[in-house]
Amino acid sequence: MSAVDAPPGLAFAGQPSGEFVARPRARRLARRVLVAVVAAGGATLTLATPRLPTPLIELLLIAPLMCMSVAAVGYAVRSAHLRVDHDGIRWGWSWLGFRLSRERLTQVDAYRDAVALRPRRGSTWFLSARDWNHFDRVPDAIRRADIPMIAHDRRAPLGARLQSYGAVLDSLLVADALAAALALVAAFMV
C-alpha cells in the first residue's frame, strides 16, 4: 500500500489554469427536466403497475424508464466540468473524467466560437461557446497552461459548429419531458 501526499487544493494534475461549467440556463433546464421526468415516470409506473394485463402496458412500463435515462444522461452532461491545466484538458466530473494530455495534442485551434483539440489518434474534441459558460476565457486558460495554440480571428468551420451539443441536447431534454408527460396521460387513460 502506498500513500501520496499533496497540498490542499492541489489536484494530481496540477493547479488548473481554468475550470468551466455549462451555461446556467442549460444546467437549470437539465435539472428541471430530470426532476419532472422522475416525478412523471414514478407516477406513470405507479398507475400502470396495478393494470398489468391491459393493452400497451409494455409501453407504459418502458417509456418512463427510457425518459428517466435520457434525462439522467442530459443532467450528467450538463454537470460535467472542463478543466485546463499544464498536463492537458479534462472533461468530466471529480470521480470520472476524460483527459487529452498535452503529449497527445498535435494542434489546438482557437476560433471566436469554438476551440478544436486535435489529438494524435482519435477524434477531435470541439469545445463550443454555446456549451460553456465564460467561453471567452477558455483560450486564455489554454495559453496560461502553456499549451501551444493557434488563434484564428473567425468563426469555427461548419463541421466544428455542428458538433456543438448545446441546442440538440436542450431540444432532446424538452422532447424527453414531453414524452414523459404523454406517458403519464396515457397511464391515466388506460
Distance, in Å, from the CA atom of 83 to the CA atom of 125, rounded to the nearest integer, reads 14
Is the whole-model pTM more than 0.85?
no
Distance, in Å, from the CA atom of 31 to the CA atom of 44, rounded to the nearest integer, reads 20
Fold type of domain 96-164:
3.30.720
Model confidence over 32-58: pLDDT tens digits? Answer: 999 999 999 999 999 888 767 777 788
pLDDT of residue 3: 36
Q: How many residues does the chain have?
A: 190
